[in-house]
Structure formats: structure tokens, C-alpha cells
């Protein structure tokens, strides 16, 4: 079970949106906060990412070709050729017929910077703890042989944007979608094993990772701390301590979280009756499921489903 993919899928509320941005120095662009997570890929040239006043603990980032930035909370910020360049407000996006993304051009007649900017629509109201534990800004550099798969995806994306051909409208969104997994996998693999804690450690732990995989693979199983501990070859107490330390909550609390997350996704994305949703998430009756769901989400499953479809 790919827990990273599952965690992200559980938060998705729509397809990513993207804009190809071209700036010639001097240029600056102020980007507002988005409902989800933001990202930037520098396809050519260099620029600065400047956090705004409410992020004084974050410093400006000097970005160059191949750099990737993921903004966990979709915070507002500035992109510019230099930190001191005045920034314009975000401009309207221009779409060519058949193009899967918009374009923005701005600035003067100096050196060119070309970026892919956008956001992933993620439910930040109930973020998966794996995403919540990420830094506010993830910055990955793909030069000098680092993150070859991410670098290859960026190269493919740049080629499609430079020379759109038949099939590009389907290829580009898929590549943009894949970037998120490459970015997060790259960050997780950069964490030093000796000092890693939290989800970066949990996903590589010989006991906790299999237990998480079992929960994700079939949340309908009546898992207990004892059954999970037996599955990974630890005592009940040792397993509970290890799981809680790395994941950040006890095994049964995480099981309930994942059952409710799975139920919410089924309600949003399928027409399965409530009895089927209850059975697939480990509840013996629709009544027990509805009670647990309302306690977690503050509304009944049926109301949640109607609201989700109205919003979509």
C-alpha cells in the first residue's frame, strides 16, 4: 500500500491548476493565498521567492533552473527577479485554445525567467498528518544528479510547454499531478535517517510502516493494538509507544482518522449507499457509522455528501 499516494488522494478536492509565467527583468508578481498548496518550478533562468510580512521567520529563497518549491499552506508570497523589485498584483491568465494551462508575461527587457506556477486543490481543513508535518516551504534543487526522477519530470514538462503537440493537453496535467508525489518523495528521502522523526521516519520504520499499510489497505478490519502489534512482531506496549512517537497519535486514533477520511472520500466520489460506506470503513451498522461520522465532521453523512456535490 502506497501510503504517500493514499494520504494525498484523501485530501484532493480537484485537479491542479497551473500558469506558465514568463518575466523579463525587472519583474515582480504578488501571488495571493490559495485554497490548497502552491508550487513553483523554475524552467529557465532564476528568480527570488519572497515571503510576505506574516512569515518573518521565513527568508527569501534564491531560485535557479531546475529548482522546485512547494508551499504547504498555499501562503501568499512574491516572485521577482530581485527581492527589492516592486511586485504587481497577480494578472489575469491567458489561455490559448486547447492549452491545459494559462500564461502570464510581465516585466521589462532584461534576462528571461520562465516558471510553471500553480496550486494543488487540497482540503486544508482536515490535512493528513503526513502533510501537516511538512515544512511550510519545501525547496528542492535538482542539479548535480539530485532527485533524477523529479528532474526528468521537469524536463518532460518543459519540453511539452516549449513545443506543444498532439496529446499535450492530456500529458501536461498528468505531469503536473505527478510532480506533487515526486516533490514529497524527494523531501522525505532527503531527511537524515539518524535524526528523522515523524512521518519521514514512520514510512521507513520496520514496524510502524507495515502497520500503517495494513490500516490503509483495509480499514474495515476490526484492528486492535494487539492485532497490529502481533502483525509486526512487537509487544503491545512497545508497538503502541513506537507508533505514537513516530505518527504523532496512538494506533486506534489513527485508525479512526483513516476510517473517517476514507468514508468522506467515498461520500464525495461515489454513489455507494451509506450501508456500504459503513461496511467498508469498519462499522457494523449505518447508525454506528453515522454517529461516528457526525462526531468527527459535525454533520451527518448524507448532509456531507450533498454539500460536497453542491460545492463541486
More confident of the two residues 101 and 18: 18
At residue 10 the predicted structure's pLDDT band, cuts being 50, 70 and 90, is confident
Q: To the nearest whole number, what is the mean pLDDT of the chain?
A: 89
User: pLDDT by residue (tens digit) across 32-61?
Assistant: 888 889 999 999 999 999 988 665 577 899
Are 57 and 134 contained in the same domain?
yes
Of the listed ranges 148-157, 210-219, 270-279, the one predicted with least confidence:
148-157
User: pLDDT by residue (tens digit) across 244-301?
Assistant: 999 999 999 999 999 999 999 999 889 999 999 999 999 999 999 999 999 999 999 9
Last residue of a domain, one of 190, 215, 244: 190
Q: How far apart are CA 266 and CA 274, in angstroms?
A: 10
For residue 290, what are the contacts with CB-CB under 8 A and spacing of at least 6?
Answer: 274, 278, 300, 301
Are 151 and 214 contained in the same domain?
no
What mean pLDDT comes out for the span 132-159? 89
Are 181 and 259 contained in the same domain?
no
Q: How far apart are CA 75 and CA 90, in angstroms?
A: 14
Share of the chain above pLDDT 90, in %: 58
Please name which of 48, 46, 47, 50 lies closest in space to residue 58, comparing C-alpha atoms: 50
Are 178 and 288 contained in the same domain?
no
Domain that holds residue 212: 201-311
- For residue 68, is pLDDT > 90? yes
* Residue 163: CB atoms within 10 Å: 8
Where is 307: in which H helix or E strand?
helix 301-311
Q: How far apart are CA 144 and CA 296, in angstroms?
A: 47
Q: Is 235 exposed, middle or buried (0-12, 13-18, 19+ CB in 10 A)?
A: exposed
pTM for this prediction:
0.85
More confident of the two residues 267 and 127: 267
Residue 195 lies in a domain: no
What local confidence, expressed as pLDDT, does residue 96 receive?
Answer: 63
What local confidence, expressed as pLDDT, does residue 19 receive?
Answer: 87
**Do residues 134 and 187 make contact, with C-beta atoms less than 8 angstroms apart?**
yes
For residue 168, what are the contacts with CB-CB under 8 A and spacing of at least 6?
Answer: 100, 160
What mean pLDDT comes out for the span 171-189? 90
Are 162 and 96 contained in the same domain?
yes
Amino acid at each position: 500500500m502506497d501510503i504517500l499516494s493514499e494520504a494525498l488522494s484523501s485530501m484532493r478536492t480537484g485537479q491542479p491548476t497551473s500558469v506558465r509565467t514568463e518575466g523579463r527583468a525587472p519583474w515582480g508578481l504578488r501571488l495571493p493565498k490559495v485554497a490548497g498548496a502552491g508550487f513553483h518550478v523554475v524552467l529557465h533562468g532564476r528568480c527570488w521567492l519572497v515571503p510576505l510580512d506574516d512569515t518573518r521567520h521565513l527568508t527569501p529563497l534564491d531560485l535557479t533552473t531546475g529548482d522546485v518549491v512547494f508551499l504547504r499552506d498555499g501562503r501568499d508570497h512574491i516572485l521577482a527577479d530581485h527581492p527589492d523589485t516592486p511586485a504587481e498584483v497577480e494578472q489575469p491568465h491567458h489561455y490559448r485554445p486547447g492549452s491545459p494551462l494559462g500564461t502570464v508575461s510581465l516585466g521589462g527587457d532584461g534576462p528571461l525567467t520562465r516558471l510553471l506556477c500553480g496550486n494543488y486543490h487540497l482540503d486544508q481543513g482536515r490535512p493528513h498528518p503526513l502533510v501537516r508535518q511538512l515544512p511550510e516551504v519545501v525547496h528542492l534543487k535538482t542539479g548535480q544528479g539530485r532527485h533524477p526522477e523529479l528532474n526528468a519530470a521537469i524536463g518532460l514538462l518543459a519540453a511539452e510547454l516549449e513545443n506543444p503537440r498532439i496529446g499535450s493537453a492530456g500529458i501536461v496535467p498528468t505531469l503536473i499531478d505527478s510532480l506533487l508525489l515526486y516533490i514529497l518523495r524527494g523531501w522525505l528521502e532527503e531527511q537524515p535517517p539518524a535524526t528523522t522523526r515523524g512521518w519521514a521516519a514512520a514510512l521507513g520504520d520496520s514496524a510502524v510502516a507495515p502497520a500503517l499499510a495494513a490500516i490503509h489497505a483495509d480499514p474495515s478490519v476490526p484492528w486492535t493494538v494487539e492485532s497490529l502489534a502481533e502483525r509486526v512482531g512487537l509487544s503491545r506496549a512497545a508497538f503502541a509507544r513506537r507508533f505514537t512517537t513516530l505518527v504523532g497519535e496512538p494506533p486506534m486514533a489513527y485508525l479512526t482518522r483513516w476510517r473517517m477520511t476514507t468514508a468522506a472520500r467515498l461520500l464525495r466520489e461515489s454513489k455507494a449507499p451509506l450501508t456500504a460506506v459503513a461496511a467498508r470503513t469498519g462499522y457494523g451498522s449505518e447508525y454506528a457509522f453515522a454517529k461516528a461520522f457526525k462526531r468527527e465532521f459535525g454533520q451527518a453523512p448524507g448532509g456531507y455528501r450533498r454539500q460536497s456535490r453542491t460545492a463541486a
